[in-house]
Amino acid sequence: MDIYEVLRRPLVTEKSTRLSEESKYVFEVNKKANKGEVKKAVEKAFKVGVVNVNIIQVPGETKKLGRREVTSPRWKKAIVTLKEGDKIQLFEGV
C-alpha cells in the first residue's frame, strides 16, 4: 500500500492538540492499514522517527433520519508517538 493511501488526514481536535505536546500525533488511516504500514508512512512522509503506533477502530455513529436509523461507516485512527525532539510542522500553530 502506498503511503498516500495509508494516511488519510490528520485529526485536529482538542484532545489531539494536547497529545501533540507529548510528541503524539493523531491521523485517520486506511481501514486495511496495520501498525507497520502506518509507521513507515509517517517516517517517509514527515521524515521523523516513530517510537510507537496505537491503532483504534472507531465505530460508526447511529443517527435518526425521520423514521429510519442511519449508521455512518466505521473508520480507523492511529496515534503515533515520535522520538524525543521530533515534531511534525503540519500541526504547529493550529
Each residue's pLDDT tens digit, 77-93: 999 999 999 988 876 66
The domain containing residue 21 runs over which residues? 3-84
Q: In the numeric block, which cell numbers belong to residue 16?
A: 489531539
Number of domains in the chain: 1
* Domain assignment of residue 74, yes or no: yes
* Domain assignment of residue 93, yes or no: no
Mean pLDDT, to the nearest integer, of 24-30?
Answer: 96
Rounded to whole angstroms, how far apart are CA atoms 24 and 31?
Answer: 20
pLDDT of residue 19: 93
* Domain assignment of residue 89, yes or no: no
Rounded to whole angstroms, how far apart are CA atoms 23 and 11?
Answer: 14
Q: Residue ranges of the alpha helices (H) in 12-68?
A: 14-20, 35-46
Tens-digit pLDDT profile for residues 34-65: 999 999 999 999 999 999 999 999 999 999 99
Rounded to whole angstroms, how far apart are CA atoms 80 and 83?
Answer: 10
Read off the CATH number of the domain in which 33 is found.
3.30.70.330
